[in-house]
Amino acid sequence: PNQAAVDLGCAGQDDSMRTDWPLTRPPRPRRASAAAPVRSSSDRRVERGAHTRQRLIDAACVLFTEHGFAGTSTPDIACRAGVSRGALYHHFSDKQALFAAVYDGVERAMTARLLVCWEGNGALSSWERMRCVIHTFMESATDPTVRQVLMVEAPAVLGCPAWMDTASATTYRLLVSGLEIARREGLLDKDVNLVAAAHLLFGSFTDAAQWIAVAADDPVTCGRANAVADRFLDSFRSGRAPRGAMS
């Protein structure tokens, strides 16, 4: 018998003569594919609603910046957003509620800017990091949207207590953190009360930011405010004379 055929277990038969082989190769089993998630109609409605809400906030932010709260009407906002007034009142009870949402977005953006300033200068001393945060806070008052929405309109629209509670949250915490670290580093006089110092610093810098916001020459005013802020901050510093000169 043919040795190759024996080795293959074919008992001497030629492959072409075998009848036990299938005429076609059996199909390979298909891999089970992950089913694509099916989005329900309620999910799509929620997504459309969130998109409409953000369009209203974006449109209102532009108009409040350009014309102020009193000079902006709800029809103007709905028209700019490309939605009906009914859609506006579906998401917001009134213009003040919409302003609060605009304020929240602007305030969060400024907070992020302050946090970047604080965290991005980790190589500096806590004192210089506080100085950076204070300068950034006051320089933000020269931004048209921050100036109009946060500094000019918010105290009147939201009321001073509500505005101060919201505005002070991050800046105040950063000042307290900076003062605590400065004390551990030996840069802050031990007899200075941290809470009192943070409130005093924040109050004065917030008032300065509002002064910058309404100034006709805001960059010049901001420079003057920063120079005095440096001296005021340094007055709390242990064993060091105030830096710079007031102008």
**Nearest Cα to Cα of residue 148 among 54, 236, 213:** 213
What dihedral do alpha carbons 168, 169, 174, 179 form, nearest 10°? Answer: 70
Q: Nearest 5°: CA angle at 57, between 56 and 59? A: 65
pLDDT at 206: 86
At residue 237, φ and ψ (nearest 5 deg) are -80, 140
pLDDT at 218: 81
CB of 175 closer than 8 Å to CB of 130:
yes
Residues of the chain where predicted confidence (pLDDT) is lower than 70: 1-39, 160-169, 239-247
Whole-angstrom distance, CA of residue 97 vs CA of residue 81: 16
Q: pTM to 2 decimals?
A: 0.73
Q: How far apart are the first and last CA of the chain?
A: 113
pLDDT at 242: 43
pLDDT at 76: 97
Amino acid present at 116: V
Tokens 């010049």 belong to 220
pLDDT at 1: 46
- Rounded to a whole number, what is the largest CA-CA distance in the chain? 113
Q: Which residues 6+ apart lie within 8 Å of 163 measured at CB?
A: 154, 155
In order, the DSSP letters of 137-179 are HHHGGGSHHIIIIIIIIHHHHH-HHHHHHHHHHHHHHHHHHHH
pLDDT at 111: 86
